[in-house]
Structure 1
Amino acid sequence: MQERVALVTGSSRGIGRTIALSFARRGYQVVINYHRNREQAEEVMAEVNAAGSRGILVRADVSQAGEARELIEAGVKEFGRLDVLVNNAGINHDQLMLRIQDEEWERVINTNLSSTFYCSRAAVKHMFKKRFGRIINISSVVGISGNAGQAHYAAAKSGLLGLTYSIAREYGSRGITANAVAPGYIESDMTASLNAEQRRHILSGIAAGRLGKPEDVAAVVLFLASAEASYVNGQVIRVDGGMGPF
């Protein structure tokens, strides 16, 4: 994997951080993207270097088409290629639909969905020339089932699935695959704020009896990026510990 290059959007923290570090430990060269917190991104970079891999930091607000394009170009300029794009950047502000303001709707849709289109469109141009590419979109089980209080988030994550299927159909003949990963409840800053009753309620609906870890998601992403997954295309893989309905 020494020649492979992976770019992970929103990789300064959370699941994105774990995915980026997992690629580095596998020998990939890594493009680390952040929007606001450079300090956290620099910590990720230090761990990438400690793993014996090369990486670069690129600040970009991927919800903006121009900045998303510049992010992709920065990675290609540094490493000469881009093999794997993981569209992970996302935000959420839980709110009942009647209380969602227009600006909040647009911000969530642009950050979670439009960013994936912008980055994928820019990346495919380079992958197309190499006849190889892996596009992996981080969706959510909420994008499959919906959820009260998350209309904007669910709409964006569901939209990611349609976008994934379309990319897979358009570019599968050129050696480019597109797949989505749909995590369930994963240990994060958000789940850390759950009280004991909320946690018990959530766990009662998960067959595995525990919350997932970012490493559980990263393991599936690594597989989808690998040569072994060359015939896996246009798929959605749930990483949710067995949340119903199946």
Structure 2
Amino acid sequence: MTETQDALTGQVALVTGATTDVGRAVAAGLAAREATVYAATESMSDDVPEGCEHVLLDVTQEGDVEAVVDGIYAETERLDVLVNAAEFGRPDEGRDTVVTEDATRLDRALATNVRGPMVLAKHALPLLLQQRAPRVVNVGSALGPAVGSGAPGYQVSKAGLEAFTAYLDAEYGSRGLLANTAYGPEGDDERVAETALWLARLAGGGPMGEAFVGPDERV
């Protein structure tokens, strides 16, 4: 079995999309293990799990990203875990194909699901790489790792996010970064959250640049 950390006392995590089922569950799970968790949402009127620090963050806006990461540094001087759970563009009736899906919706899916995590990495990696066994968890498609029909912006951007996981491993794996993608059975957000939380708790020497559909279950 892959080694994980049961207690995260003293560690700091940033979880985007903390209002999604997956993001909320991961933030709560990390806080329960005594990590300092910054739960990011697009509105301060959103509820976040008890014990988390609520931060305002639209991942499509680099200014927001820079401000949040700078704020975390000012308060804690460290970052151990980044969980990219913010997403946009799941299947919606009437917007099923690249022909019918509005270009504005396509743009937002790409900006949220793949560009956002890349910009977050740009600003967060200098902090992450100062720690032992820093983790980046990219939350994959609720439809599973294969790209099929429907929801083109969502599916293609999520495939791009998995490619970004591979890039992070190639570029920073030698420096100890544990970057992986979390999936689950199709449409099973609870299982996706379980997988993402497991990846967020990996110990040094854990898997890198891989995709999982459950703890220790590779795609």
User: Aligned pair in 2 of structure 1 residues 219, 182: CA closer, same or farther (>3 Å)?
Assistant: closer
Matching residue's letter, 1:177: L
Q: Hey, what's the Cα distance between the residues in 1 that align with 2:192 and 2:101?
A: 29
Match of 1:77 in 2: 74
Matching residue's letter, 1:39: S
Matching residue's letter, 2:178: T
Match 1:24 to one of 31, 48, 60: 31
**TM-score normalized by structure 1?**
0.76
Q: Hey, what's the Cα distance between the residues in 1 that align with 2:10 and 2:118?
A: 26
Q: Which has the higher helix share?
A: 1
Match 1:221 to one of 196, 202, 215: 196
Match of 1:90 in 2: 87
Does the alignment pair 1:102 with 2:107? no
Match of 1:126 in 2: 127
Q: Hey, what's the Cα distance between the residues in 1 that align with 2:55 and 2:186?
A: 29
Match 1:58 to one of 51, 55, 59: 55
% of aligned pairs identical? 28
5+ unaligned residues in a row in structure 1: which ranges? 49-54, 187-211
Matching residue's letter, 1:32: A
Correspondence 1:151-190 to 2 at 5 A = 151-186=152-187
Stretches of 4+ aligned residues off by more than 4 angstroms: none
User: Aligned pair in 2 of structure 1 residues 23, 113: CA closer, same or farther (>3 Å)?
Assistant: same
DSSP 3-state at the match of 2:30: helix
Asked which structure has the greater RCO (Cα within 8 Å, sep 6+), the reply is 2
Deviations 1:158-179 (A, max 9, x none): 0011100010111112121100
Query: Displacement of 1:144 after TM fit?
Result: 2.8
Structure index of larger Rg? 1
5+ unaligned residues in a row in structure 2: which ranges? 1-7
Q: Hey, what's the Cα distance between the residues in 1 that align with 2:202 and 2:138?
A: 18
Q: How many residues align?
A: 205
**TM-score normalized by structure 2?**
0.85
Deviations 1:76-120 (A, max 9, x none): 222221100000100115322211222111111101111110111
Match of 2:149 in 1: 148
8 Å Cα contact 1:141/1:238 also seen in 2? no
Q: Hey, what's the Cα distance between the residues in 2 that align with 1:121 and 1:131?
A: 19
User: Aligned pair in 2 of structure 1 residues 89, 141: CA closer, same or farther (>3 Å)?
Assistant: closer
Matching residue's letter, 2:134: G
